[in-house]
């Protein structure tokens, strides 16, 4: 019998056979296929930027082109180019007042390989990883690492940010606590008080474990750290409690801060004994950022005026869109429509609710679940957004992420009017 005659015998690894792809990318691809076929749909699903609306800083672009012209097309150093790590060290010091040396910084092709490396460095198969939901991709990283995912459901009342009280019942035998602020998908942040309580909890837990049990580590995803609006301030565990330095690895990069998702330059910083192992893992994977982009990013970050000028304009454009949607949704709620929204604080996301289960469409269809709401918004309001169920939350929820990275300023009012018209047809 030929090998190919019995396909069922050709089994892949259990991890791979049960791994699912990104729910968000699948939804976005489905919407884009409808758009290619001629439908007019506003696709606000992906946490990405339209370069025609939000181009990368021109200085960064010029530095990238110059780096390629100078022949920087060979392998970079495994842990990142020294000048870039030095620039990142200074960037962290400026924005967070944290002192991390270049040797405590690891560069990679965006933040995803770094998060994966943190999991593989700190988490053994079967170890418990605690994280709040909704949150981005921790469930999948747990699957890839064969860790046990402990998902803690958060609430709208706390802006979907976790509290120490919610997390505490699950940390006694956990290996890692995965946190994100500003949070993807909500665009909300930790208050100083809430993160302080979580940090105290981790410190107390590690004191309890001393010499008897592996420590509890914090993965702190802060890739939206500089995208905070108004009085909102980014905070991190190490700034609050320096004694957490040996137990915290932070992840950041230029992808969201500088609309450079495709440039693929991310960094992590933490204790050297962890960073060195992450470097070894990623050196085998070959997940480094291209050398030219690294050199360019290092030079760009050194140009403080250019960085500040870009961020000032970029933040205003993002905030204007978020507040436009926020005010529009508030007006719909005031008109009696079953919508809700949380005020934007950071990142490129708005948390919105469409509490439509049980309502009847013009065609007589009763909306019964999250998928029905998603379909209604797409078909009737021509708006594609992502349900929190794609971020690990309950599968029958009514909260959604709206991303503004591809939204033109003039589209905000059009989308609100589309929603008004569609919602008015419900009974």
pLDDT tens-digit readout, 93-105: 999 999 999 999 9
Going from N- to C-terminal start, the domains of the chain cover 3-54+309-424, 58-307
Q: In the beta sheet, which residues pair with residue 131?
A: 151
Average pLDDT, the chain: 94
pLDDT value of residue 1: 44
Q: How confident is the model at residue 4 (pLDDT cuts 50, 70, 90)?
A: low
pLDDT value of residue 7: 55
Q: In the beta sheet, which residues pair with residue 351?
A: 342, 401
pLDDT value of residue 394: 83
Alpha carbon separation from 279 to 98, 140, 210 (Å, rounded)? 21, 21, 27
Helix (H) or strand (E) holding 23, with range, is: helix 23-36
User: Per-residue pLDDT tens for 118-173?
Assistant: 999 999 999 999 999 999 999 999 999 999 999 999 999 999 999 999 999 999 99
CATH class of the domain comprising 58-307: alpha beta
Instruction: List, in sequence order, the alpha helices (H) in 133-290.
Output: 138-145, 164-167, 192-209, 237-240, 272-285
Lowest mean pLDDT among 10-19, 327-336, 382-391, 408-417: 10-19
Cα end-to-end distance, the chain, whole Å:
62
pLDDT for residue 14 is more than 60? yes
pLDDT value of residue 16: 87
Across 174-199, average pLDDT: 98
Across 251-264, average pLDDT: 97
* Among 49, 28, 134, residue whose Cα is nearest residue 378: 28
pLDDT value of residue 266: 98
Angle ∠(70,76,81) on CA atoms, nearest 5: 90
Q: Are 291 and 81 in contact (CB under 8 A)?
A: yes
pLDDT value of residue 9: 47
pLDDT for residue 8 is more than 60? no
Topology annotation, domain 3-54+309-424: 3.90.1150
pLDDT value of residue 113: 97
Matching residue, tokens 């060195």: 276
Peptide bond into 182 cis (omega under 30): yes
pLDDT value of residue 30: 84
Q: Indicate the Cα dihedral angle 94, 98, 100, 102, nearest 10°.
A: -10
């Amino acid at each position: 019998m030929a090998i190919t005659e019995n396909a069922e015998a050709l089994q892949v690894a259990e991890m791979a056979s049960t791994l699912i792809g990104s729910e968000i990318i699948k939804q976005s691809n489905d919407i884009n296929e409808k758009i290619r076929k001629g439908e007019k749909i506003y696709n606000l699903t992906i946490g990405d930027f339209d370069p025609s609306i939000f181009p990368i800083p021109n200085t960064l672009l010029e530095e990238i082109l110059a780096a390629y012209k100078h022949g920087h097309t060979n392998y970079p150093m495994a842990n990142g180019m020294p000048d870039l790590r030095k620039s990142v060290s200074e960037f962290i010091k400026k924005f967070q007042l944290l002192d991390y040396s270049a040797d405590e910084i690891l560069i990679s092709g965006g933040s995803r390989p770094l998060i994966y490396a943190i999991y593989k460095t700190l988490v053994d198969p079967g170890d418990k990883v605690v994280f709040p939901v909704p949150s981005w991709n921790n469930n999948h990283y747990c699957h890839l690492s064969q860790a046990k995912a402990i998902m803690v459901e958060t609430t709208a009342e706390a802006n979907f940010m976790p509290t120490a009280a919610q997390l505490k019942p699950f940390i006694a035998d956990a290996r890692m606590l995965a946190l994100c602020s500003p949070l993807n998908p909500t665009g909300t942040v930790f208050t100083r008080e809430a993160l302080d309580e979580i940090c105290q909890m981790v410190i107390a837990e590690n004191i309890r474990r001393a010499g008897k049990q592996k420590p509890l580590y914090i993965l702190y995803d802060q890739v939206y750290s500089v995208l905070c609006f108004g009085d909102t301030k980014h905070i991190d565990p190490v700034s609050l409690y320096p004694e957490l330095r040996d137990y915290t690895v932070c992840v950041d990069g230029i992808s969201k801060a500088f609309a450079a998702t495709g440039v693929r330059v991310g960094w992590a910083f933490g204790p050297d004994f962890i960073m060195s192992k992450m470097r070894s893992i990623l050196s085998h994977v070959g997940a480094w950022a291209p050398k030219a982009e690294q050199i360019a990013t290092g030079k760009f970050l050194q140009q403080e005026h250019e960085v500040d000028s870009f961020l000032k304009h970029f933040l205003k454009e993002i905030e204007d869109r978020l507040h436009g949607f926020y005010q529009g949704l508030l007006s719909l709620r005031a008109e009696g429509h079953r919508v809700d929204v949380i005020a934007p604080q950071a990142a490129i996301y708005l948390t919105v609710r469409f509490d439509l289960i049980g309502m009847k469409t013009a065609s007589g269809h009763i909306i019964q679940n999250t998928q029905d709401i998603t379909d209604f918004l797409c078909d009737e309001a021509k708006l594609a957004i992502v349900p929190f169920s794609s971020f690990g939350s309950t599968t029958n929820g009514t909260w959604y992420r709206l991303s503004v990275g591809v939204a033109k300023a003039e589209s905000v009012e059009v989308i609100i009017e589309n929603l008004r018209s569609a919602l008015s047809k419900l009974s």
